[in-house]
Every structure is written in structure tokens, then in C-alpha cells.
Structure 1
Amino acid sequence: MRQVQNPDVKSENICGKPVFTFDSHHEALLPWAECALAVGDAPRPRLLTLDYHSDTRPAFITHSTVDIANAMDDEGWEERAAAEVAKIDVHEVETVRDAVVNLRFDEHISAAVQSRIIDIAFAIVGGLITNEYQSNEQNAAETEWSERHKHTPWVPKPKAPPPYTYSIPKERIIELPRQKVSSSDQPRSKGYADQALESDFLRRHLEFIEAITQSAGVPGLFEAPFILDIDLDYFNTRQSIQPANHDIFHELIRRAEIITIAREPKCVTDLQKPGEKLSSEWLEAELKRHISEALSALPIKSL
């Protein structure tokens, strides 16, 4: 794969795997576009992203409501944003670079999906999940409940019983639900953060992705090229990037078409748990050590 010629994106080959590193996550659009161009449309690449934030804001929403719109009048921002998306042509790298200039925080996944650089994005989120993916049955139950809730506000939100079916949402972005770990390790706790790369933790996410794709009648994650995307702010503890069992993570590294790494140094500093002494430089070195080890060893088992 040819390298992205851009001063903000560092590209290197680690044991035969293309790895791209950059400071701001929205710059990922450049190597994602390169990957999409290389693999073609049959099928387009998927995205598996590991991030503290969900990064699923609509593409160009900030540019369209702050940089362009007059005063506080935001009417028409959706049309302006759609026009920006329409300018992106995976065959013309300058259009992708122009898009990166106008994208802001958390808008890159939406831009990639809308411009058909990415087919479907699956997000494993360490922090707040803004739009947690649910089954068709749960969505139907909550829709019915919300209608009745207007007249009976005391009725609690229902939990739909299994079996469950799944569909690919129109946004084609799936924020995976939290995994249940030990009762003492609640979401966003240090104990939960420590699980970030543990094989059991990742396996449950991957099994849910498989359930979604099978039910929705689309190819599984590993039946199409996929990009492994990692924001270093996903790691909030030292143990989070030094798992006791890294087998599944190393298999993801081996199977990925490319790997993209967002340093996001300020977020790393701000989001780490007390006393962890993390830096984006140290996390980047640890992550690249994982990549080298994974690609230097034979796979232990299939996912």
C-alpha cells in the first residue's frame, strides 16, 4: 500500500503491517481512504475502533454550524454538512485532506461512513456511550414505552426478553454495549479500564459483532477487510495496555488490513486514572511492541 504523503501522519511498516500514527484522531481519514482505495469496493473495509470516546458526532456539524452559519442561526446546517461530505472522493487525496481540515473532534467516523470510505464501523468505547446499540426487540419495546410514557410516566423502561434479532442502523455505526465484568468493576472504574485488551473482554465484543452480522445478513467482521483503529486515550491504566492474556488482541493485529493510532496526548493525560503516570509516547511504544510481537509469532488460535 502506498504511504500517505502528509506531514501530520507518520506511516511505517512493522513486520509487514502498515501502521499509521497521528496526533489528532480525525486525521485517520487519510489512511482510511488509502486503505479503501487499495482494497476496492468488493467489499469496502470495515472499521473496528477502540476509543475512550464514541467519536460518532455527525460529520462537519461543527464546521457547518460555527464556521459557516451566521450568528446563532443554524438552519440548513445538515445540507451544508452533506455538501462537505459530497466533496470527498477517495480517488482524489486532496479532497480527503480538505475534509480533514474542516473536520473537528469526533466527526471522522461519520465522515468515513457517509463518504463510503468505510462500510460499517464497530466501536468499543471505554467512556460514555452516546448511542448504545440495541436489538430490534429492545428498540421496539422502548418505542412503545415512550409513547405510553407520556400518559403513564411512572412505568419503568422495559427490558425485551430474548431471543433477539439485529439490524445495521442507517448510520452504519455500531457503538457496542458495555461488557459485564466483575461486580466490583463498574464502567469507567479502574478495574473496568484494566480489562481494555484482555482476551475475554474482547472476545465477548467480537461474539456480539458476529451475532449482529449474522442476524443482519451481512458479512462478518473477518469476512471483509477491516481496519484496526486505536485511540491511545482508550488506555487509562498501565495494566490496560499490559493485559494478562493478549491472544485475541494479537489476532486482531494480525488480521487487520492496516492499523491506525491516534496519539491524542492531552486526552491521554486528562483521562488516565490517578497515579498511572501515562503519556502518549509510552503508550505508543507499548502498542507498537504488541504489534511487533503479534506479527513475529505464529497465531495461537483462531477467533
Structure 2
Amino acid sequence: MKQDIVREKVIKDKKIYIVENHHEVILPWSEYASNNEIVPVLLTFDHHMDTRTAFYRHSCAINECEWKTISKKLLSTVDIDNLSDITSSLDKLRNNEHIDFSLKTDMISHAVIFSLLGVGICKDYSNDKIYYVDPFCTSTCMKESHDEECLLNTYNTVIESDELIFKLKQINKFIPGFFTDNSITKKFILDIDLDCFHTKKAINPTNISILNYLINNAEIITIATEGSYVELEKKEDDINEFYLLDKLLSHIENALK
């Protein structure tokens, strides 16, 4: 593991990896994949979807007309058991290409994306192993047409237990039996981009029991601080990546007590 890129914390045997740029999570993901036979599902919380094709921008810079061929060739040479391959890939990836990369190299089996762009609950149009659980409003909203208040409510409840239960149940539409009797039946990685927290209320939920469950049952936890995107997406001036990271790590520590 490259310590200049990845900061590792271990709390009660739970490994937490912190990176600045989201695509850098391929370092701990590949390490996990190399040491485990069962390929995990990815559960990722993010403002964005981060599902652009691996090496897209790098390939376009070489030859825009042949980018698909170049991307496929680059992927075909990656050995996830070889750290130098992963490190080399980092130089060619951007921070919204890591999910496609990880699926195509078998680091993860499926990706469930809890984004905040209002894309709905659906499969990705180009990759049937990517699922978006991104409802237009909270599960209790009865409005026929959603408004700014709805949007703020969605932001504020990103890790509230009632909303998480609703979202986890939606995964069964794509992975049958994934969430049964309030339990996840598959191994999973918990991944959190701090830009999914737009307000203080978002990072300080009223009920945190389901997040605690996710923390305790995740194989590993990865966190992308993405400071510039936190600044871009936040709705309150008095939050930043440092405040959010401190709060999230506090939640993790309390969950693992």
C-alpha cells in the first residue's frame, strides 16, 4: 500500500482507508481482492455517480476516435495482484473512473451507488452491474412534484436510518435477496465520498443505527475526502472536508466500540 496516497486506520480489527482523490481507493480495494476469494459488492455514498468508463479521458487524449480500443487494451494488462499495475493504472485514471475499472478487473462484483443527482432507482445504461439508488426525494414524501425543500430533505437524510433501510431494500430489485430480514446477505465494501454530506445535519443524523450496522459488517471501509468537491457541493459555509472526516471517523469509532 502506498502510504503517501492512502492513510490506514485500524479500529477494533476494522480497516479504514482514507484517500484524497476517489479513484485512489483502487489501492485498498485491490489489496482486499488479492487476499480474499469472494468478490464483494460495493456500496458507495457519493454526490456524483462516478461511473465513467475506465481510462476514458486518458484514452481520448491519445486518440479520441479510438478511445474504446485503447481503454480495453489498458484494462487487459492489469493484474490486480500486482501493486505496480495498480499504481500505474492510478496515473491513467480520473476520480470518476474507478468503479468501472474495479468491476472490469473483478475487484468488486456489483456497484450500488447512493448518489444525490436524482437519477432514480435504476441500472446503468451501459453496465448492468452498476445500480443507482438515488430517489428523487425522501421515502416519506407524498408530493407529486418535488421542489427545493424536497432536495434539502434528501441531502439532510443521506445516512438517516429510515432512509437507509428504504434504499437497502431497493437493492433487492437488482441483487435478489441482498437485504433480507434487515440484514445484508453478501460481503460488501463500504465506500464514502465526503461530498455526499452537504449540511451539518447530514453528517449528524438523528438515528444512526443502520450506518452503525454497515460499519460493523463491511469488509473494509474506504473514505475519499475530495476537498474541492466538498466545497463545491456544500450548502452551508461552516463545513469542510476536515469537519466531515472528523465526524465520520467519530461515527465509525462509536459504532465499533
- Give the alignment's TM-score, normalised by structure 2: 0.90
> Does residue 241 of the first structure (1) align with residue 203 of the second (2)?
yes
Q: CA deviation at 1:93?
A: 0.9
Match runs of 1:106-255 below 5 Å:
106-127=96-117, 129=119, 133=122, 170-178=127-135, 180-181=137-138, 182=141, 183=143, 189-214=151-176, 222-255=184-217
Query: Which of 19, 24, 34 is equivalent to 1:22?
Result: 19
CA distance in 2, matches of 1:61, 1:242: 36
Q: CA deviation at 1:170?
A: 4.3
Query: Which of 223, 227, 239 is equivalent to 1:265?
Result: 227
CA distance in 2, matches of 1:132, 1:77: 29
CA RMSD of aligned residues (A): 2.4
Query: Which of 51, 57, 64 is equivalent to 2:59?
Result: 64
1:51 counterpart residue number: 46
1:90 counterpart residue number: 80
> Does residue 6 of the first structure (1) align with residue 3 of the second (2)?
yes
Q: Deviations over 1:174-198 (max 9, x none)?
A: 1124164234765872222001110
CA distance in 2, matches of 1:11, 1:254: 17
Amino acid at match of 1:51: D
Q: Deviations over 1:87-126 (max 9, x none)?
A: 2211101101111110013100000001111110000001
Q: Deviations over 1:234-269 (max 9, x none)?
A: 000000010000010110000000000000001101
Q: CA deviation at 1:132?
A: 5.2
Instruction: Work out the number of aligned pairs and report it.
Output: 250
CA distance in 1, matches of 2:19, 2:49: 18
Partners of 1:9 and 1:22 within 8 A in 2: yes
State the SS of the aligned residue for 1:39.
coil
2:94 counterpart residue number: 104
Q: CA deviation at 1:6?
A: 3.4
Q: CA deviation at 1:210?
A: 2.4
Q: Deviations over 1:119-171 (max 9, x none)?
A: 10000001353x85159xxx9xxxxxxxxxxxxxxxxxxxxxxxxxxxxx844
Query: Which of 34, 38, 43 is equivalent to 1:37?
Result: 34
CA distance in 2, matches of 1:260, 1:209: 20
Q: Which structure has the larger Rg over C-alpha atoms? A: 1
Q: CA deviation at 1:203?
A: 0.5
State the SS of the aligned residue for 1:34.
helix
Amino acid at match of 2:14: K
